[in-house]
Structure 1
Amino acid sequence: MPRPKTKEQLFKLSRGNYKKLIDLIDSLPVEEQRADFPEGTMNRNISDVLAHLHHWHLMFLDWYYVGMKDEKPEMPASGYSWKSLPDLNKKIWEDYKDMELDDARKLLRESFDEVQKIIQRHTEKELFEKKRYRWTGSTSLGAYLVSATSSHYDWAYKLIKKATKSSPFVT
């Protein structure tokens, strides 16, 4: 499905890609769910990937709540710029690298639900009108939501699929 341009598309694709990701994880044997990926990825296992998604939800939620008070959120995070995303993502990985998979799943589900409430709370115009909110700059709230949800879940799905493709657990 192309990048969402309506509230219905955003809601459907964000929920659909989340479900697709969780279904993929659930389809793997428990041993594979907890196994490390082959060398070459910063996120070393499924727990790392889910914690990464969760943290990006939290960052979005912070931007949203600060921005909706007509204040300027620190984006992407305090001490980081969009050009230093690799450093930020490494910090996120370091912060969560010892988290158990069940805990990462729970946190992701909770933050996912919070982000979904924001999608539901807004009209289509509020979501997709560019420059509507000062904090979103020249883009729309919906563009940020697409990045924090459906696009990010698709990235996670592809990463996990690739990392588990050569697994001895997959039949």
Structure 2
Amino acid sequence: MISRIGIVSAAHAGLTSLLARTDRYPDASLGDAWRDRRTTDILTHVHAWHLLLEGWLVDDAAGRPVHYPAEGYTWAMLGELNDRIYDDLRALDYAEARARLVASHARAVALVESLSTEQLTQPHAYAWLGDEAMANVAHECLGAHYAWGERVLDAAGIA
């Protein structure tokens, strides 16, 4: 399991690396690498998953039901959820997508840093996660998602 320091370090390094590449090619087409989408769409996709992470933790802390992964969706419907994210955010230009990503990154990292070690590492700390530890989920929404974006850029030939 990844530690708090590992989550935060991977998140910051991943965001820096991803933005360095997308800033050189704002709004470039990704072609077959990701469904003819754009570099902007990578940023909006990761931003939306930050918002999901934030929502899960805020709802849990407030004692509200947590819709995991999202209201009206199951993990078996992940493709549909990602398509909805794309549809909802595809009109954003690169500058706005980038600004939203940077802001949601900061909030997501702050939330991770605010969690206790037990909240991060105990598999049953959040009933709605089943036997998954929040550390793994947070890493997937942050550093691992940035790495995914970089793999898409690699596949699209964007240096």
Per the alignment, residue 4 of structure 2 pairs with 7
Task: State TM-score, norm by structure 1.
Answer: 0.85
Per the alignment, residue 19 of structure 2 pairs with 22
Instruction: Report how many residues are paired.
Output: 159
Per the alignment, residue 91 of structure 1 pairs with 84
Per the alignment, residue 50 of structure 1 pairs with 43
Residue type of the partner of 2:6?
A: Q
Higher mean alpha-carbon deviation, 58-67 vs 118-127, is at: 118-127
Q: Does 1:41 align with 2:34?
A: yes
CA distance in 2, matches of 1:126, 1:80: 24
Per the alignment, residue 97 of structure 2 pairs with 104
Question: Residues 43 and 97 of structure 2 are in contact (CA less than 8 Å); yes or no, is this contact kept in structure 1?
Answer: yes
Aligned counterpart in structure 2 of residue 150 of structure 1, from 116, 134, 143: 143
CA distance in 2, matches of 1:84, 1:60: 17
Identical amino acids, percent of aligned pairs: 21
Residue type of the partner of 2:83?
A: K
Task: State TM-score, norm by structure 2.
Answer: 0.91
State the structure with more CA Rg: 1
Per the alignment, residue 123 of structure 1 pairs with 116
Residue type of the partner of 2:116?
A: T
The root-mean-square deviation of aligned C-alpha atoms, in Å, is 1.7
Question: Residues 43 and 49 of structure 1 are in contact (CA less than 8 Å); yes or no, is this contact kept in structure 2?
Answer: no
Question: Residues 68 and 128 of structure 2 are in contact (CA less than 8 Å); yes or no, is this contact kept in structure 1?
Answer: no
Higher mean alpha-carbon deviation, 9-18 vs 129-138, is at: 129-138
CA distance in 2, matches of 1:99, 1:13: 26
